[in-house]
Amino acid sequence: MKIYDFTILELNYFRTYCNFTDDERTLFEYRAKQYPLEYCAELMNVSISTIKRLSRKVNNKIIRVC
């Protein structure tokens, strides 16, 4: 799922209703700015596998609120 493909209204809806943790919200914001997962991992100082796990959690929460 490409978060940057959503509209501003959809992004705001997800911010409000997905109940993201701090790390999930940080990743969500980076992905909304079209940052690749590898770059997000560097910015958040975590491994690629951790970022992929967080990304799955973010995507699952988005799917649940849709």
Euclidean distance between CA atoms 46 and 49, whole angstroms: 8
pLDDT tens string, the chain, 66 residues long: the values are 788 889 999 999 999 999 999 999 999 999 999 999 999 999 999 999 999 999 999 999 999 998
3-state SS, 17-58, equals: HCCCCHHHHHHHHHHHCCCCHHHHHHHHCCCHHHHHHHHHHH
Confidence at residue 8, expressed as pLDDT on a 0 to 100 scale: 94
Confidence at residue 40, expressed as pLDDT on a 0 to 100 scale: 98
The answer to whether 13 and 3 are in contact (CB under 8 A) is: no
Confidence at residue 2, expressed as pLDDT on a 0 to 100 scale: 86
Confidence at residue 59, expressed as pLDDT on a 0 to 100 scale: 96
